[in-house]
Amino acid sequence: MILRLACLVARRAGWLSRRLGRGGGTTVPGVVLLRLRPNAVAELGAQLKHGAILVSATNGKTTTTRLIVAAAEALGLRVVTNAEGSNLERGVATALLLGTGDGPADLAVLEVDEAALPAVTRALQPRALVLMNLFRDQLDRYGELDTLVDLWRDLLDDPTAVTESCTLVLNADDPNLADLGRSRSNVVWFGIDDASHALTERAHAADATRCRQCGHAISHDVVLLGHLGHWHCTNGDAQRPAPTVRATAIALAADGQAITVAIDDSPLTMRSGLAGLHNSYNLTSAVAATYALPGIHGHRAEAARAIAATPPAFGRGETVVVNGRTLNLLLAKNPTGVNQNIRTVLSGAEPVHVLALLNDRTADGKDVSWIWDVDWEPLNDRLASLTLSGERAWDLALRFRYGGFDMDKLAVEPEVPAALDRAIAATPAGETLHALPTYTAMLDLRAELTRRGLVDEYWSEP
Amino acid sequence: MTTPTVRLCHLYPDLMNIYADRGNIAVFQHRLAWRGVRLEVTEVSLGDALTGEHDLYYLGGGQDRDQDLVADDLQTKAAHLRSAADDGAAQLYVCGGIQLAGHSYVAANGDRLPGTGVLDLETTAGTSRLIGDLVIDAELEGESHRVVGYENHVGRTALGTGCRPLGTVVHGYGNDGASGAEGACRDRVIGTYLHGPLLPKNPWLADIVLRWALDHRYGDEAPALEPLDDHYESAARTVAEKRATLNR
Ligand SMILES: [Zn+2]
């Protein structure tokens, strides 16, 4: 079937699926399109005036993609992007299909699932790849972290996928990514130089502990987040590359941050509503990615202003007022992400109220053992109430029981409505309740908030 | 009288820890502490000499690359581990641990990783990963109990005559996805693919291992392990079993 007709059929299928109330607006058109036209991603991508920028990472790809889109739009570019949660090839196909509906766009900025990155990169031959971090994630999906690093290495070594003109925007602070960029010339390194946010030790879930060149231990002078930081191989054959784009000063607050990013030593200070050091990485990587934007020359300040003005993405630091309490939604996907959420929760002064929700559906990861790798223990001193919910709420209860927590502060309510009621009741009016849900639990919680008329229905359309 | 103490040797905690092995150690520590027993942990990793007497040994699972490093290094510790097992020390091997406790592991490319030979078993890489909830009926000390967890392994493990399965598979794959056998045991040594981690949801099994360790140290003088209120554990086990039986 010719491309135009295939696009027409695929759009119609998406429309029908929505009309029938089956959802799937972000995947159905892509699935249909790829069935009719297996090469559609490459074909639609070829119509983009300036090509594509692909963003991949374990953590932060959704937020960083939004930031880069904002920067590109500030330069007057017409941008195609994909909705959160649809970052496999079919989601990319949907985004390109719907985004190029009214004629070709200038640029696609797409978040891509770590394992789907090779296929999407080969199809699109992007102008830039933004690779931010690799942490331990859903082990049942990917096998192991090393497998993923090897997959990405093969991809970067493939000149038909990653062409000479492709800019690699890489995190110097992640030893695995630094190794991927080793002895390549087209790299823009970014990193955080401000060592005042250093942790005293690597988190339990730290992953990149061995040098990929020689197998000796990786040592950190500064640990910033998980295994990200200022590192070197104890055998002396590898070290953190000096970043071109560096966050030199970061002041974190509960509701955002002030961050100074230096590019080739010219500093630029931004005030962002994104809280937490993980967002410092997202902001810095987005600034680094502007290197690859067409027409950036002379417009760096506008791009940075647009990045700074971008609000949090769905469930990533969004707040909702519930019965006079502020509900702070912090998506909990993997150990490093949750450790970072806990750091953000503890950055406030008050006693802490937490609602943690754990599901084990496919999108959450069916293996819930990752909750044991989270360092929950720092919450213990400040914890005033803890409510546990979701299908695997009792597994969470065991994590806290064997973490030495006071079980009298804890209640288990597997059903979301009851859990929300209990958590709200346990939080004094005027204070903040921090919700830490896994992905599908976030959707469940969101549905309950919608039912109570507190938020609009979440409509995951591009 | 001094506080009774169990001496735990945690093997390669820096490398073999990807399936929440820390949870198993926390269970040892707390279930002993609640009964007035102290857990003394010695961490032993690459290049460290394995010396002294321990009542309990633990080895978890790691990534392939780390497992290669560990397999080489384990050769320097294999004789100690075999004689400790013969001497009645408790040993628990989980995920990658069970493979390294056998005679060898044959990778997909034919490479042969040597094991310690503590358990009479052989593991060969299969062509697919065996992943999912795993429920077994485990038999230890003349009792049979339902034990739940999660498995994720590419290795297929075949037992020799020197050990028997830990239990039979109710849901999931187990040692090889075909025989219905899961895990391996001999004397006071247990190997299993169950993680999740293994022990928090299965306190019966945890207490058996701890009783073995106490018996190794104190013999007839070993303090008794009084029953605990395990209603959180029971609830979590019930949910895990239900999730495993759902056709998802
Ligand atoms: Zn090295």
Give percent of chain B with pLDDT exceeding 70.
Answer: 99
Residue pLDDT, tens place only, A282-336: 999 999 999 999 999 999 999 999 999 999 887 888 889 999 999 999 999 889 8
Q: According to the model, what pLDDT value does residue A457 have?
A: 60
Q: What is the mean pLDDT of residues B81-101?
A: 97
Structural domain for B119, as ranges: 5-246
When scoring A367, A405, A408, A413 by the number of chain B Cβ atoms within 10 A, the one with the most, hence best to mutate, is A367
Give percent of chain B with pLDDT exceeding 90.
Answer: 89
For residues A160 and B24, give the distance between their C-alpha atoms in angstroms, rounded to a whole number: 47
Instruction: For chain B, say whether A412 makes contact (Cβ under 8 Å).
Output: yes
**Res. A461 pLDDT band, cuts 50 70 90:** very low
Residue pLDDT, tens place only, A334-366: 898 999 999 989 987 789 999 999 999 988 989
Q: According to the model, what pLDDT value does residue A26 have?
A: 78
Q: If we measure between CA atoms, which residue out of A244, A242, A243, A276 comes closest to residue A259?
A: A276
Give percent of chain A with pLDDT exceeding 70.
Answer: 95
The pair phi, psi for residue A193, each rounded to 5°, is -90, -25
Those residues whose C-beta lies under 8 Å from the C-beta of residue A14, and which sit 6 or more positions away, are A24, A25, A28, A29, A32, A94, A98
**Res. A462 pLDDT band, cuts 50 70 90:** very low
Round the average pLDDT of chain A to a whole number and report it.
91
Cβ–Cβ of A144/B18 closer than 8 Å? yes
Q: Which domains does chain A have, with CATH numbers?
A: 50-81+106-309 (3.40.1190.10), 316-460 (3.90.190.20)
Which pair of tokens denotes residue B129? 């990963």
Cβ–Cβ of A395/B66 closer than 8 Å? no
Query: In this structure, are strands A383-389 and A410-412 parallel, antiparallel, or unpaired?
Result: parallel
Residue pLDDT, tens place only, A13-24: 888 887 776 666
Q: According to the model, what pLDDT value does residue B18 have?
A: 83
When scoring B17, B18, B151 by the number of chain A Cβ atoms within 10 A, the one with the most, hence best to mutate, is B18
Task: Specify the 3-state DSSP secondary structure of A43.
Answer: helix
Residue pLDDT, tens place only, B122-157: 999 999 999 999 999 999 999 999 999 999 999 999
Q: According to the model, what pLDDT value does residue B85 have?
A: 97
Q: What is the mean pLDDT of residues B202-206?
A: 98
Whether residue B223 contacts residue B214, with contact meaning beta carbons closer than 8 Å, is answered with yes
Instruction: For chain B, say whether A384 makes contact (Cβ under 8 Å).
Output: no
Q: According to the model, what pLDDT value does residue A85 have?
A: 64
Q: If we measure between CA atoms, which residue out of A47, A105, A56 comes closest to residue A81?
A: A105
**Res. A231 pLDDT band, cuts 50 70 90:** very high
Count how many domains chain B has: 1
What is the whole-number distance in angstroms between the Cα of residue A176 and the centre of ligand 1? 12
Estimate the crossing angle of helix A61-74 against helix A277-289, to 10 degrees. 40
B5 burial (CB, 10 Å; 0-12 / 13-18 / 19+) is middle
What is the whole-number distance in angstroms between the Cα of residue A212 and the centre of ligand 1? 7
Q: What's the whole-model pTM score?
A: 0.88
List, in sequence order, every beta strand (DSSP E) within chain B: 5-11, 38-44, 56-59, 90-94, 104-106, 112-114, 121-140, 143-159, 167-171, 181-182, 184-186, 189-192
Residue A202 has pLDDT above 80, yes or no: no
For residues A398 and A393, give the distance between their C-alpha atoms in angstroms, rounded to a whole number: 9
For residues B24 and B14, give the distance between their C-alpha atoms in angstroms, rounded to a whole number: 15
Residue B1 has pLDDT above 70, yes or no: no
Q: What is the mean pLDDT of residues A165-178?
A: 97
Instruction: For chain B, say whether A209 makes contact (Cβ under 8 Å).
Output: yes
| Inter-chain CB pairs, A–B, below 8 Å | 95
Residue A263 has pLDDT above 70, yes or no: yes
Q: Which residue has the higher pLDDT, A102 or B10?
A: B10
What is the whole-number distance in angstroms between the Cα of residue A210 and the centre of ligand 1? 8
Those residues whose C-beta lies under 8 Å from the C-beta of residue A296, and which sit 6 or more positions away, are A75, A290, A303
**Residue A360 with chain B: CB contacts under 8 Å:** 243
Instruction: For chain B, say whether A404 makes contact (Cβ under 8 Å).
Output: yes
Instruction: For chain B, say whether A145 makes contact (Cβ under 8 Å).
Output: yes
Kindly report the CATH number assigned to the domain that includes residue B131: 3.40.50.880
Q: According to the model, what pLDDT value does residue A370 have?
A: 93
Cβ–Cβ of A136/B18 closer than 8 Å? yes
Query: In this structure, are strands B189-192 and B90-94 parallel, antiparallel, or unpaired?
Result: parallel
Q: According to the model, what pLDDT value does residue A381 have?
A: 92
Q: What is the mean pLDDT of residues A133-161?
A: 84
Q: According to the model, what pLDDT value does residue A434 have?
A: 96
Q: According to the model, what pLDDT value does residue A438 have?
A: 96
**Res. A86 pLDDT band, cuts 50 70 90:** confident
Q: What is the mean pLDDT of residues B204-216?
A: 98
Those residues whose C-beta lies under 8 Å from the C-beta of residue A15, and which sit 6 or more positions away, are none
The pair phi, psi for residue A141, each rounded to 5°, is -90, -40
Whether residue B184 contacts residue B115, with contact meaning beta carbons closer than 8 Å, is answered with no
Residues with CB under 5 A from ligand 1 (ion): A 211, 213-214, 216, 233, 235, 237-238
Least confident of A7-21, A354-368, A442-456: A7-21
Q: According to the model, what pLDDT value does residue A146 have?
A: 83
Closest residue, chain A, to B242 (C-alpha): A391
